[in-house]
């Protein structure tokens, strides 16, 4: 049978479970910026080096795109990074196989259809 737990212990267990990252990412901080994963933080560092070398333009974190169809807001896509490379706007999303959810795949298609923007996935 189950051991009895106090109400306080139960609440602590629930809160701990809620905090667990569903993709098992490790939040990481670089330059005072908190990233959802080590991979995203690593990509940020790479982009900063590329920007310092003049290979890309200013990096924007968490660019947002509203998806509206026939005057109705459907959703908002939030990317990881935006920058310009050789005069071309680039939107990047750092993805693991587990994070390519059906919702993400749909938003990716909607972003292309509505805004003509292709997402570059970094794995």
Domain boundaries, the chain: 25-122
Give alpha helix (H) positions in 1-123: 7-19, 38-52, 102-115
Q: What's the pLDDT tens digit per position in 57-115?
A: 999 999 999 999 999 999 999 999 999 999 999 999 999 888 899 999 999 999 999 99
For the record, the structure tokens of 61 come out as: 């974190």
Cα atoms in the Cβ-side hemisphere of radius 13 Å centred on 35:
21
Spatial distance between the Cα atoms of 56 and 47, rounded to a whole number of angstroms: 8
pLDDT for the residue numbered 70: 96
Q: Output the CA torsion sign for 121, 78, 107, 85.
A: negative
């Amino acid at each position: 049978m189950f051991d009895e737990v106090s109400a306080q212990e139960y609440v602590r267990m629930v809160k701990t479970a809620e905090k667990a990252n569903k993709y098992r990412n490790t939040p990481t901080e670089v330059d005072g910026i908190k990233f959802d994963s080590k991979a995203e933080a690593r990509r940020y560092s790479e982009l900063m080096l590329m920007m310092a070398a003049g290979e890309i333009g200013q990096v924007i974190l968490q660019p947002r795109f509203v998806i509206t169809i026939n005057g109705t807001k459907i959703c908002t896509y939030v990317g990881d990074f935006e920058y310009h490379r050789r005069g071309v706007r680039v939107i990047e999303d750092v993805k693991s196989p587990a994070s390519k959810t059906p919702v993400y795949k749909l938003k990716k298609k909607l972003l292309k259809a509505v805004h003509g923007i292709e997402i570059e996935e970094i794995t």
